[in-house]
Amino acid sequence: MATEKTYQTLKLNLDTRGVLTVSLNRPEIRNAFNETLIDELSDAFGKVAKKPEVRVVVFRGEGPVFSAGGDLNWMKKSVELSYEQNLTDTRKLSRMFATMNECPKPVIGLIHGAAIGGGVGLTSICDFVIASKETQFSLSEVRLGIVPACIGPFVISKIGPGHARALFMSADRFLAPKAREIGLVHEIVAEPKDLDLACEKMLANMLQCGPHAMAAAKKLILDLTWGERREKIPDALEYVSELLASLRVSSEGQEGLKAFLEKRKPSWIQNG
């Protein structure tokens, strides 16, 4: 597939169904963050994933773990930076998470091994998360004298302030069953090798759905729940009424309803 550039820290693959797999590809250092990974994730989710041929994004990590958080060399550099230089760095990180969170395509996260610190942030921006049972999670930043600030809005949106208060301040390590209990994970499989099969089941569902409708559904949730976006909606009831009316008269909405009434598959389903 054509990409905006050659990636150093990611692997991308687009299959014939329109499923774009984005894989963290720094297995030798447990897919840890550095400046390059931040730039390339911003590009992959902000540009490549938005292309019309992409229907769904699958997000995963190469090697033994999903992501162990910050690269030690990247973290060492921050010690030598001024406040202004650190602010430039942290703004890029925050914007990367925002770009990933607002990707208009459904994002399925496949999490295994460990998701530590920023790895929890990457998990939290996924729309549907499947984790293998052994996966360890931790918001470990306070052990380093810092806090999970840039990932905070996205994690809190997923797990709520009650769980965030306990986990942000304790740096407790927990496994996939607890991650599902608090809303970070949606489905658990026994082993990492089972992730692909579980993913295919969810993909089968999503590929039956209208591409524009899925994007509209994601935008609806963000608009009604997300900070400044929510504040820009003066009347939520009028907003949702106008949204549904516009989708009913759209080409995709018309096709979907006609296909249902005519007992046939809509045009967006391959071989339909």
Domain boundaries, the chain: 10-205, 209-261
128, β-bridge pairs: 108
d(CA 179, CA 223): 25
Q: Note the pLDDT of residue 5.
A: 64
CA 152-155-148 angle, 5° bins: 35
Q: Note the pLDDT of residue 272.
A: 44
Separation of CA 5 from chain center: 21
Architecture of the domain delimited by 10-205: Alpha-Beta Complex (3.90)
Mean pLDDT, contiguous 10-residue spans, the chain (272 residues): 73 96 96 94 97 97 95 82 92 96 98 97 98 97 93 96 97 97 98 98 97 96 87 90 94 94 93 54
| Number of Cα atoms under 13 Å in the Cβ half of residue 261 | 6
Among 116, 168, 109, 159, smallest CA distance to 137 is for 116
* Sequence-separated (6 or more) residues with CB below 8 Å from residue 97: 121, 125, 150, 151, 153, 154
Q: Note the pLDDT of residue 226.
A: 83
